[in-house]
């Protein structure tokens, strides 16, 4: 499941709406909505995101958060290390191989490192 899929499922559950009801209301198939929730589809387009926000009548801050979560929810990530030193490519490949097996605490530690690196000049 992607962060976006989790967010949509959480919204549906809080509002008491089934996948089928939501899909019909926003003009997509229940299969598509299910695939999005389960991380089997890529990042949804802006039009879809607006339909979801409108359907749930969410406030702007919550809609902005939903849009941000969608932006980081592509289930198949490509890391381009061309032109970088070889250790960057080796690291990206190692991470791709082991990411499914990382315990939550290790994932949080790695995320903290990445977040710290984003703050560096």
Which pLDDT score, from 0 to 100, does residue 77 have? 84
Which pLDDT score, from 0 to 100, does residue 39 have? 85
What's this model's pTM, rounded to 2 decimal places?
0.70
Give 10-residue mean pLDDT values along the chain (121 residues).
90 93 95 91 89 91 89 85 94 93 95 92 80
**Alpha-helix residue ranges (DSSP H) falling in 1-121:** 3-15, 19-26, 30-37, 46-56, 60-71, 86-98, 104-119
Q: Which ranges in the chain are annotated with CATH 1.10.260.40?
A: 3-71
Which pLDDT score, from 0 to 100, does residue 88 have? 93
The CATH architecture assigned to 3-71 reads: Orthogonal Bundle (1.10)
CB atoms within 10 A of CB 12: 19
Which pLDDT score, from 0 to 100, does residue 98 have? 95
For CA atoms 73, 44, 1, 62, give the dihedral sign.
Answer: positive
Instruction: Enter the tokens of residue 73.
Output: 């929810």
């Amino acid at each position: 499941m992607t962060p976006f899929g989790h967010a949509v499922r959480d919204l549906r559950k809080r509002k008491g709406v089934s996948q089928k009801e939501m899909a019909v209301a926003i003009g997509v198939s229940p299969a598509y909505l299910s695939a999005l929730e389960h991380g089997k589809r890529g990042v949804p387009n802006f039009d879809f995101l607006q339909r979801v926000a409108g359907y749930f009548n969410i406030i702007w801050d919550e809609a902005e958060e939903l849009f941000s979560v969608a932006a980081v929810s592509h289930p198949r990530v490509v890391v381009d290390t061309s032109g970088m030193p070889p250790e960057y490519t080796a690291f990206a490949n190692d991470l791709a191989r082991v990411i499914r097996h990382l315990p939550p605490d290790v994932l949080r530690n790695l995320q903290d490192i990445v977040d710290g690196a984003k703050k560096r000049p």
